[in-house]
């Protein structure tokens, strides 16, 4: 799996096999990081398809902070 | 993906009724857990495997459910990449079925390798010249992709949607699902193929050895084709069975027919190529290795296996599902899809068991493999795990987007 472990060699088979494997892992990881990061941004910015129930509602004229 | 405002309330059976349904499957699961405990605690001497049969019923079932689980990647590819929009009605169910098949297969492999704690060896000390290395890498990664595809379904649950982060996560993952669909297709293509390639490269096992192109024997391509033919058939069966058990309409009836037709077309292509491969193997490849065609088929693994695979569970379901009036009839639809799935199971059985049963040394005899109850119990556990997970998914998630509309 890593160049430092037993039986790893810098031959064509290892480079193609692990090249493709790590490319797939990187694509999955990048997509996940993107989805997580965007979700965090969306959560704190209250935009996008966020449901109205969770959105900040402006206070009514008659409401007071003290209730 | 639906938004919170258009998420309908779906009618489900009462909790006691649901628990009663689950209890039978939980008992089966516990039986399997006991079998698994014995295999892990006492070792693989609890199985019917021996020096002849290093692969047994677990590998047969593994190969079969991985092929049948191909409905997830193939449906995902057709829906997200090629825009086959009719699949929207059941893409969620296809993903859950795929997740069940792959997680069940990996669970079974964990017992099969005998020393699960050393399971990481296949990653850490990867033999890049082995088809099995490609298989283990791809099915592990693909299970991860299926888990990611499962997440948006879970985050659609009403309670979970109340948590803003999880809701956004589900929506954002859904937004880039085409990436996961493409990655899943790539991974599935190679591991389905490599499972076939693994048998095709066995030069010392003339029953399964095949010629091919470059490093890939013909079985590489036949396994991919058979999987994408059988996957949609299992998805159709599962959706049909869920409709019957719950007595609710979950998808439009023509959707099931279209999926079955797709399965039949792919099955015909597979059968033609499989026939060509078998004729060439029987007349050229096997004789060159000193075997006659009839040497491979002896009781109990007789010629009936080949005829069953080609005709009863191959040609018959293909013809049934290609006739519009037949596939529009529930009885024939089920027979067609069921026989297609059984044909794939039979094919994987032949490659796994019959390959090892045929003698390759002058002093060997044709041997027969008998699984023990421990092996069957683990197979039963995987099936019951699948039923339990699908039942929970149906009850608590919104698997079928048109359910409310169709039962309005």
Cβ neighbours of residue B320 closer than 8 Å, sequence gap 6 or more: B264, B326, B327, B332, B335, B336, B339
Chain B environment of A35 (Cβ under 8 Å): 169, 172-173, 175-176
End-to-end CA distance of chain B: 20
A51, B5: Cβ pair inside 8 Å? yes
Name the residue in chain B with its Cα closest to that of A8: B125
B128, A35: Cβ pair inside 8 Å? no
Partner residue facing A28 (CB), from B123, B164, B183:
B183
B183, A53: Cβ pair inside 8 Å? no
A31, B176: Cβ pair inside 8 Å? yes
Q: HSE on the CB side for B139, CA within 13 Å?
A: 30
Task: Give the C-alpha separation, B300 to B134, whole Å.
Answer: 33
B187, A6: Cβ pair inside 8 Å? no
Chain B environment of A48 (Cβ under 8 Å): 168, 171
A31, B180: Cβ pair inside 8 Å? yes
Residue B261: closest CA among B196, B361, B340, B331: B340
Q: Are B327 and B261 in contact (CB under 8 A)?
A: yes
Q: Residue B331: how many CB atoms within 10 A of its CB? A: 9
Mean pLDDT over the full length of chain B: 92
A17, B172: Cβ pair inside 8 Å? no
Share of chain B above pLDDT 90, in %: 80
B183, A50: Cβ pair inside 8 Å? no
Q: State which H helix or E strand residue B216 sits in.
A: strand B216-217
List the domain boundaries for chain A. 12-43
A7, B125: Cβ pair inside 8 Å? yes
Q: Are B195 and B136 in contact (CB under 8 A)?
A: no
Q: Are B375 and B29 in contact (CB under 8 A)?
A: no
Nearest C-alpha of chain B: how many angstroms from A42? 7
Question: In a structure prediction context, what are the per-residue pLDDT tens digits for chain A, which is 67 residues long?
Answer: 777 777 788 888 888 888 999 999 999 999 999 999 999 999 998 655 544 444 444 444 444 433 3
B4, A53: Cβ pair inside 8 Å? yes
Name the residue in chain B with its Cα closest to that of A24: B183
Name the residue in chain A with its Cα closest to that of B168: A39
Q: Which of B120, B168, B177, B193 to mutate to test the interface with A (most CBs of A within 10 A)?
A: B168
Q: What is the DSSP letter of B84?
A: -
Q: Are B227 and B344 in contact (CB under 8 A)?
A: yes
Task: Give the C-alpha separation, B189 to B197, whole Å.
Answer: 12
Q: HSE on the CB side for B199, CA within 13 Å?
A: 27
**pLDDT of B102 higher than 50:** yes
Partner residue facing B172 (CB), from A24, A35, A52:
A35
Q: Residue A5: how many CB atoms within 10 A of its CB? A: 10
Chain A to chain B, count of Cβ pairs less than 8 Å apart? Answer: 72
B127-148 per-position pLDDT tens digit: 888 888 889 999 999 999 999 9
Name the residue in chain B with its Cα closest to that of A30: B179
B298-341 per-position pLDDT tens digit: 888 999 999 999 999 999 999 999 999 999 999 999 999 999 99
Nearest C-alpha of chain A: how many angstroms from B81? 17
| pLDDT band at residue B6 using 50, 70 and 90 as cut-offs | low
**pLDDT of B236 higher than 90:** yes
Task: Give the C-alpha separation, B249 to B242, whole Å.
Answer: 9
Chain B environment of A39 (Cβ under 8 Å): 165, 168-169, 171-172
Task: Give the C-alpha separation, B108 to B64, whole Å.
Answer: 12
B172, A39: Cβ pair inside 8 Å? yes
* ipTM entry: 0.85
Contact with chain A for residue B11, Cβ under 8 A: no
Cβ neighbours of residue B303 closer than 8 Å, sequence gap 6 or more: B297
**What does pTM read for this prediction?**
0.90
Q: What is the DSSP letter of A58?
A: P
Q: Are B315 and B254 in contact (CB under 8 A)?
A: no
Q: Are B207 and B355 in contact (CB under 8 A)?
A: yes
Task: Give the C-alpha separation, B110 to B117, whole Å.
Answer: 9
B245-292 per-position pLDDT tens digit: 999 999 999 999 999 999 999 999 999 999 999 999 999 999 999 999
Residue B300 preceded by cis peptide, ω within 30 = yes
Residue B136: closest CA among B247, B58, B62, B219: B62
B157-183 per-position pLDDT tens digit: 888 888 999 999 999 999 999 999 999
B341-354 per-position pLDDT tens digit: 999 999 999 999 99
Name the residue in chain A with its Cα closest to that of B5: A51
List the domain boundaries for chain B. 9-406
Helix or strand or coil: residue B85? Answer: helix
Which pLDDT score, from 0 to 100, does residue B101 have?
Answer: 96
Chain B environment of A34 (Cβ under 8 Å): 172, 176
Partner residue facing B176 (CB), from A35, A42, A43:
A35
B128, A14: Cβ pair inside 8 Å? yes
Partner residue facing A28 (CB), from B125, B145, B175:
B145
Task: Give the C-alpha separation, B166 to B160, whole Å.
Answer: 7
Contact with chain A for residue B124, Cβ under 8 A: yes
Task: Give the C-alpha separation, A52 to A56, whole Å.
Answer: 8
Task: Give the C-alpha separation, B123 to B18, whole Å.
Answer: 41
B367-400 per-position pLDDT tens digit: 999 999 999 999 999 999 999 999 999 999 989 9
Chain B environment of A15 (Cβ under 8 Å): none
């Amino acid at each position: 799996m890593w160049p430092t472990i037993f039986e790893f060699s810098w031959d064509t088979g290892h480079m193609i096999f692990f090249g493709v494997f790590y490319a797939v892992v990187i694509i999955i990881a990048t997509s996940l990081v993107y989805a997580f990061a965007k979700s965090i941004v969306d959560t704190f910015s209250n935009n996008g398809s966020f449901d109205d129930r969770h959105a900040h509602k402006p206070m009514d004229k008659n409401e007071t902070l003290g209730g | 993906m639906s938004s919170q405002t258009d998420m309908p309330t779906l009618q489900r059976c009462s909790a006691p009724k649901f628990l009663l349904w689950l209890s039978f499957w939980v008992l089966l699961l516990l039986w399997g857990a006991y079998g698994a405990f014995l295999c892990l605690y006492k070792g693989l001497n609890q199985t019917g495997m021996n020096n002849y049969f290093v692969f047994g019923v677990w590998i047969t079932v593994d190969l079969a459910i991985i092929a049948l689980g191909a409905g997830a990647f193939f449906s995902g590819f057709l829906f997200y990449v090629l825009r086959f929009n009719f699949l929207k009605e059941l893409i969620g169910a296809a993903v859950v079925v795929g997740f069940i098949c792959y997680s069940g297969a990996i669970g079974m492999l964990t017992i099969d390798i005998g020393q699960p704690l050393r399971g990481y060896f296949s990653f850490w000390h990867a033999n890049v010249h082995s088809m099995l290395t490609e298989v283990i890498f791809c099915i592990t990664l693909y299970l991860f992709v299926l888990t990611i595809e499962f997440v948006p379904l879970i985050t659609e649950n009403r309670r979970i949607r109340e948590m803003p982060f999880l809701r956004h996560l589900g929506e954002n993952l859904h937004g880039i699902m085409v990436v996961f669909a493409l990655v899943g297709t790539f991974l599935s293509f190679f591991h389905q193929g490599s499972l076939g390639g693994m048998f095709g490269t066995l030069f010392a096992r003339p029953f399964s050895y095949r010629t091919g192109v470059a490093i890939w024997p013909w079985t590489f391509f036949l396994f991919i084709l058979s999987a994408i033919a059988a996957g949609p058939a299992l998805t159709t069966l599962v959706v049909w069975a869920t409709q019957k058990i719950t007595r609710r309409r979950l998808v439009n009836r023509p959707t099931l027919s279209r999926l079955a037709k797709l399965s039949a077309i792919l099955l015909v292509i597979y059968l033609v190529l499989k026939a060509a491969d078998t004729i060439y193997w029987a007349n050229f490849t096997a004789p060159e290795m000193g075997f006659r065609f009839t040497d491979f088929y002896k009781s109990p693994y007789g010629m009936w296996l080949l005829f069953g695979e080609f005709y009863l569970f191959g040609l018959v379901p293909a013809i049934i599902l290609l006739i519009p009036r037949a596939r529009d009839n529930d009885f024939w639809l089920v027979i067609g899809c069921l026989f297609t799935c059984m044909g794939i199971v039979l094919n994987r059985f032949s490659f796994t068991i019959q390959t090892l049963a045929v003698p390759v040394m002058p002093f060997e005899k044709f041997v027969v493999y008998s699984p023990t109850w421990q092996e069957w119990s683990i197979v039963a556990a995987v099936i019951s795990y699948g039923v339990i997970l699908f039942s929970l998914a149906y009850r608590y998630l919104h698997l079928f987007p048109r359910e409310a509309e169709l039962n309005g």
